[in-house]
């Protein structure tokens, strides 16, 4: 397995933390906690080695469109770039104020 750490400048903010996905075949889990220091810091742990460039491209594209500050922890079990992008969008959706948090209800 391989661990990647990336940082992006972030101007947006989110209302709440979010947890989506599962560390299951072809999928990933994301833990997101909003931050205030204008940075999106990302840690990726993946079972599949050697895809640094692909990860960077997927995350570059996402944070170019959605620069939301906070800490993102991605626990990956071989998700495709499409699945990764969908899960990241799901994080944005579930971190909106209107969304009722499932954890800790």
Partner 1 sequence: MSDIPALVAERPELQALWHRHSFVELDARARAHAILDKGTGHEYCDPFDRIESPWLEPQGLVPQADDGLVVVKGQLAGEPCVVIGIEGAFQGGSIGEVSGAKAACALQLAARDARAGQPISAVLVLETGGVRLQEGTLGLNAVAEILSALLELRGLRPVIGVATGPLGSYGGMSIVAGLCTRMVLTHEGRLGFNGAQVIESEAGVAEFDSSDRALIWSVNGGAQRYATGLADALVLDDAPAVRQAVITAVAVGVPERHRSEELDVLAARLGSGDGAQARFSLAGLGLPPAPSPGSARQRGAGS
Residues that bind partner 1 (CB under 8 A): 1, 17, 19, 22-25, 27, 29, 31, 33, 45-47, 73, 75-77, 102-105
What lies within 8 Å, CB to CB, of 80 at 6+ separation is 26
Q: Among residues 9 and 26, whose Cβ is nearest to partner 1?
A: 26
Q: Among residues 9 and 24, whose Cβ is nearest to partner 1?
A: 24
Distance of CA 85 to CAs 37, 45, 103, Å?
23, 16, 22
Q: Among residues 53 and 103, whose Cβ is nearest to partner 1?
A: 103
Dig out the tokens for 38 from the structure: 């204008």
């Amino acid at each position: 397995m391989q661990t990647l750490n990336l940082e992006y400048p972030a101007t947006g903010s989110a209302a709440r933390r979010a947890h989506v996905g599962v560390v299951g075949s072809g999928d990933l889990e994301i833990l997101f906690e909003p931050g205030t220091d204008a940075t999106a810091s990302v840690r990726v742990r993946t079972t599949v080695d050697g895809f640094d460039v692909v990860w960077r491209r997927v995350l570059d594209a996402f944070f170019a469109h959605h620069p939301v500050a906070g800490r993102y922890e991605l626990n990956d079990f071989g998700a495709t770039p499409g699945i990764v992008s969908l899960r990241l969008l799901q994080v944005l959706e579930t971190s909106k104020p209107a969304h009722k948090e499932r954890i800790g209800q």
